[in-house]
Structure 1
Amino acid sequence: MHAAESSGEARRPEQFPGKNKMDAFYDQALEYMERTLEQLTRQAPPPQRVPMADSFAYRYVEQTTQQAIVQKLARIISGLHAARVLLKHGFLQEQAALQRMLDEFQEDVTFLTYAEIREDTADLLRDYLAAFYEEEFDVPQNPIKSTQKRPMIPRRRIHAYLARVTGTALDASTAAEVVRTLSKTYSGYVHGASPQIMEMYGGAPPTFHVAGMLDSPLFRDHKDDLWNYFYRCITAFAFAAKAFGDEVLFASIYAYSTWFAGTEPSRK
């Protein structure tokens, strides 16, 4: 097991007192990702203060691919922290909705990395970055007068590109459809589709459980699913290191991800 080169060794699970083994693994992984984010952030031009209404805001003025990647990595880490909190209190619907966001963040990092390295999708990358960096309000002093015209890049374009470049055994169109289907499943939690909402209903007598579902028969599935997101998000950091051309860091993260794969919870 290795840690980011400039960040020191990752703490071992036994160095997290009072935690069960899986919680210790998650704490360790989050520490590792946070240190790696700091290292990658230092390799990109830093945010600058820019005027915003009557004050200022921090912005990446160069609006590069690498700067977009570090921002997505920041949301990945905060999302994993939040997913753990939601699971701890039994908010399974909300955890699943958040994991749908993590799906997109991880896909975005993978897309941005391939686009940066391969230089084979200039139009899609240009459109993505333009939409990503566009301000929410083009008249900050008066949001009502703002046009709020940020274009949304269809996920199918991202999925199709990733299916084409990742060397899947499926043909590109089938692979993209598989990803789309999985994405739609979690979208039901985001948009509040009836089949997903009805997972909240049950008990004796049956009722909607709106203050957490720690006793739900689905709790174990959601608990185990969280591990999948930790593992996939760690691999997103490996992709990010590639985008920065940092092969030493990539090797370190790859070794860590291989070790973390061995922590997968058993269903026994």
Structure 2
Amino acid sequence: MERLFTVALEAMDAAFQDYAAALPKPERVRQGDGWNYRFKTQDVYHAVVLKLALVQSALRAALILNSSGYVMEQGMLQRVIDEANEDILFLVYAITNDTITELHLRYLAAFWAEEFGDFDNPTDSHQSRDMVKREKIRAYLARIEGKNPDPSTAVKVTKVVSKVYSGFVHGASPHIMEIYGGDPPHFHTRGVLPRIPEYQRDLANYIYRGLLSHIFAAKLFGSQTHVDTLMKFKQTMEQAMGSDFATKP
């Protein structure tokens, strides 16, 4: 299964590199005493590329954590990936299924906002983002999918799954107890090796949904070649996972 994950991530990355190459490269900008890279254009397309980069990096990190038995930390990352996948669909739908709404504009304003107004004085210039509530994003997704039904199961399960995995991020007792056990029972703070297979199966769902996000992005960027290639790999994953989700983004 781990080999399948690696190949899936390579397929995603091949598509992602083309998406990123379709945009002007980020430019170096002065921020206080240092320099950072920033996109000059701050639109849906650029935001989707950044979110895909987050998904890919987090999936690879989760794979490394899983291989060492750090299942609690894997759960934390999966919570991050949940939201990123939601955000990708939220942004893609604005172009492919709907129009850019006030909610999208508000989301983008918060997304592109810098952390500090004055990088030479970060303590006094920290800026609070006007974040769009997760419930509003999910309500938008439900409205669009209800108006033009999309057979993807990813969004339908995200709300419940996100609530479950938030316990890992916030350190809820039941989630911390995931690393307790053995003979004699104790806290496994150096990895819970016996739980690797269980959480590897869980990670398969996240690799699959990351794949779906890259397929939706392919539609956004008008790349039918990547749609076809990734759809074939999606079917390979379904066969390996023993499930036919009947999804066709």
- TM-score, normalising length: structure 2: 0.88
The amino acid across from 1:155 in the alignment is R
Query: 1:119/1:169 Cα in 2 relative to 1: closer, same or farther (>3 Å)?
Result: closer
Residues paired across the two proteins, number = 239
Structure 1, unpaired ranges of 5+:
1-21
Q: Percent identity?
A: 41
Aligned to 2:218: 241
User: What is the alpha-carbon distance in structure 1 between the residues aligned to residue 25 and residue 12 of structure 2?
Assistant: 19
Matching residue of 2:81: 102
Q: 8 Å contact 2:11–2:230 — kept in the other structure? A: no
Aligned residue in 1 for 2:168? 189
Q: Deviations over 1:134-191 (max 9, x none)?
A: 0011111111011321122111111111112123999xxxx99964332111000111
Within the candidate set 101, 111, 128, 1:149 is matched to: 128
Q: 1:168 to 1:28 in 2, by over 3 A?
A: farther
Code of the residue aligned with 1:251 in structure 2: it is D
Residue of structure 2 equivalent to 1:19: none
Q: For 1:263, what is the secondary structure of its paired residue?
A: helix
Q: Which has the larger radius of gyration?
A: 1
Cα RMSD of the aligned pairs, angstroms, is 2.3
Please give the alpha-carbon distance, in whole angstroms, between the structure 2 residues aligned to 1:265 and 1:213. Answer: 26
Per-residue Cα deviation, 1:40-72 (whole angstroms, up to 9, x for no partner)? 011122211111112321111110101011111
On the 8 A contact 1:91/1:211 being kept in 2, the answer is yes
State the match for 1:159 in structure 2: 138
Say if 1:160 and 1:176, in contact at 8 Å, map to a contact too: no
- Measured in 1, the distance between the counterparts of 2:49 and 2:221 equals 10
Counterpart Cα distance in 2 of 1:256 and 1:240: 15
Tell me if 1:124 matches 2:103. yes
CA shift in 2, pair 1:203/1:168, >3 Å: farther
Matched, 1:48 2:14: no
- Residue in structure 1 matched with residue 247 of structure 2 by the alignment: none
* 134 and 222 in structure 1: CA distance in 2 versus 1, 3 angstrom threshold: same
Q: Is the 8 A contact 2:65 2:73 kept in 1?
A: yes
Residue of 22, 40, 45 corresponding to 1:61: 40
What stretches of structure 2 of length at least 5 have no aligned partner?
Answer: 244-249
Which one of 229, 237, 242 corresponds to residue 252 of structure 1?
Answer: 229
Contact 1:156/1:176 (8 A) holds in 2: no
Equivalent residue number for residue 9 of structure 1: none
